[in-house]
Amino acid sequence: MEHHEIYIDGNWVPALKGAYRSIINPYNQEIIAEVSEADRGDTKKAINAARKAFDQGEWSGVSATKRGKMVYELGDLIEKNRSQLAEMETLNTGKTYTESLWDMDDIAGIFRYYGGLADKIGGEVIQSPNPNSHSRLEREPVGVVGLICPWNYPLLQAAWKIAPSLAAGCTMVIKPSELTPLSTLAFTKLTEEIGFPHGVINTVTGPGESVGAELAESLDVDMISFTGGVVTGKKIMQAAAGNVKKIALELGGKNPHILFAESDWETAVDFIMNGVFFHAGQICSAGTRVMLEASIHDRVVALLADRIKKIKLGSGMEEGTQMGPLISEAQLLKVEEHVNLAVREGAKLVCGGKRPTDKSLKKGFFYEPTLLTDCHPGMSIVREEVFGPVIHIEQFETEDDVIQHANDTIYGLSAGFWSNDPERIERVSKALRFGTVWVNDFNIYFTQAPWGGYKQSGVGRELGRIGLEEYTEIKHVYQNFKPQPLQWFGSKS
């Protein structure tokens, strides 16, 4: 059995209390590794190491071009170790190996993108009222950052944070989810091949309530970048108030996927399937909330039901598997509860709605791909994030109604709609209050375009140029070339 330690100041060390957590494969509940379970004491040590490295300019003092080259090289290392990392991700999360390979390719691209951007961080000359002065804006690294990550895309979500913060010149403490730390630990090991100064990268595994909370509360951490649930995001916001630290929050979503009758709705069905059953619906941007114009409702439901019944469940490592298990027993119970409540509230169960009976899936946290119809905006399933393989369908009659209902949510991460009417496309894209709006597509994101939510889906943006700027402070430098004696309080007054 593999044992993993935590990484502080360039050394692999056991947690101070010597505790370990068993990491399991959600496909069969087998223990796949033992990982050091850190707590607040270990986290403080990691923060101190990052603080010292930042304050001594160990990393921010390196030229941006050299920094960028080192970040870029991480992309090459990910590519070189692509298959081992992907297998590890699949064993730890249950997602299919193909999906994990896509994640690794994405991650390599993210390090290369931000590596290339490192020496393109620019400033600005601004006009001042004094002609004998020079006034400019500079971007500087924000300092020590705490990077708190979720379990659904363990290394991908970490890369969204690590790559831009390294490129900006920050030092960091990375905290993977306690359920899925393996790929982040393997990545940390790879960073040693590049030779980052000690203290720049620290990785601490352990519970959110101690390791995560310590990062959020610490007066020595300048910024928290967090991806996870809204409830945790709110706790982090409060904890961050202690030193008014900067926060970037990527939280949950309840993402409408709307089909207008004039659209190519048969193609849209492929995108609905992809938007929900990818990684068993455990995606912040999952399009579980499907809204169909009444005249196409029955035909789309029939098509979906037919497709859903054919989804092949199994081990993520087996060829042909289309959907793996959920991450944990707790997540399985949560999804079950959502579906049962929806049925009690009047939803009609078309297919799924239970754990599979197949013997080979008995040990895993599997839930059948599920289709519910007859849902309406007042129901809990329409209002709350499910994070599982469940489509729930609402019917609508008019454009105004569907926009009003789609926007009637505390979330605002992403939305998509299908239409072939150019004027409608303009109107609806403008009216939807979400951080990303897809037109005739769904769930496509890429490194160059910013990602983040309106409303309770988050604060700030990841990816794109702005995803790097989040890790910087803006400094205004004003230089007076010819200071003149002052009248007011001056020596001659």
Binding site for ligand NAD (CB under 6 A): 148-152, 157, 175, 177-178, 208-209, 212-213, 216, 227-229, 232, 235-236, 250-253, 284, 385, 387, 413, 453, 458
Q: Which residues pair with 248 in a beta bridge?
A: 225
Name the 3-class secondary structure at 140: strand
Catalytic member of 178, 250, 293, 368: 250
Q: Which is nearer to ligand NAD, 43 or 263 (CB)?
A: 43
Residue 378 neighbours by CB under 8 Å, 6+ apart: none
Q: Which is nearer to ligand NAD, 167 or 284 (CB)?
A: 284
In angstroms, rounded to a whole number, what is the distance separating the alpha carbons of residues 422 and 239? 46
- CA 242 to each of CA 223, 470, 473: distance values in angstroms, whole numbers, following the listed order: 12, 20, 19
In angstroms, rounded to a whole number, what is the distance separating the alpha carbons of residues 256 and 291? 7
Q: Which is nearer to ligand NAD, 15 or 251 (CB)?
A: 251
Asked if residue 233 lies in contact with residue 385, where contact means CB atoms within 8 angstroms, the answer is no
- Smallest gap from Cβ 76 to ligand NAD, in A, equals 26
Catalytic member of 89, 284, 375, 399: 284
- Smallest gap from Cβ 252 to ligand NAD, in A, equals 3
- Smallest gap from Cβ 83 to ligand NAD, in A, equals 24
| Catalytic residue list contains 385 | no
Asked if residue 480 lies in contact with residue 135, where contact means CB atoms within 8 angstroms, the answer is no
Q: Which is nearer to ligand NAD, 169 or 388 (CB)?
A: 388
- Smallest gap from Cβ 291 to ligand NAD, in A, equals 20
Residue 57, sorted as left (phi over 0), alpha (psi -120 to 50) or beta, turns out to be: left
In order, the DSSP letters of 310-350 are TPPB--TTSTT--B---S-HHHHHHHHHHHHHHHHTT-EEE
Phi, psi of 213 (to 5 degrees): -65, -40
Q: Which of 213, 78, 198 lies closest to 146, judged by CA?
A: 213
| Catalytic residue list contains 375 | no
- Smallest gap from Cβ 238 to ligand NAD, in A, equals 10
- Smallest gap from Cβ 373 to ligand NAD, in A, equals 24
In angstroms, rounded to a whole number, what is the distance separating the alpha carbons of residues 131 and 138? 20
Q: Which is nearer to ligand NAD, 118 or 247 (CB)?
A: 247
- CA 340 to each of CA 5, 277, 337, 377, 408: distance values in angstroms, whole numbers, following the listed order: 41, 19, 5, 17, 23
- Smallest gap from Cβ 438 to ligand NAD, in A, equals 15
Packed helices 265-277 and 297-308: angle between N→C axes, nearest 10 degrees: 50
In angstroms, rounded to a whole number, what is the distance separating the alpha carbons of residues 394 and 414? 17
Q: Which is nearer to ligand NAD, 49 or 149 (CB)?
A: 149
Q: Which of 339, 362, 365 lies closest to 352, judged by CA?
A: 339
Asked if residue 142 lies in contact with residue 54, where contact means CB atoms within 8 angstroms, the answer is no
Q: Which is nearer to ligand NAD, 276 or 284 (CB)?
A: 284
What residues act catalytically? 250, 284
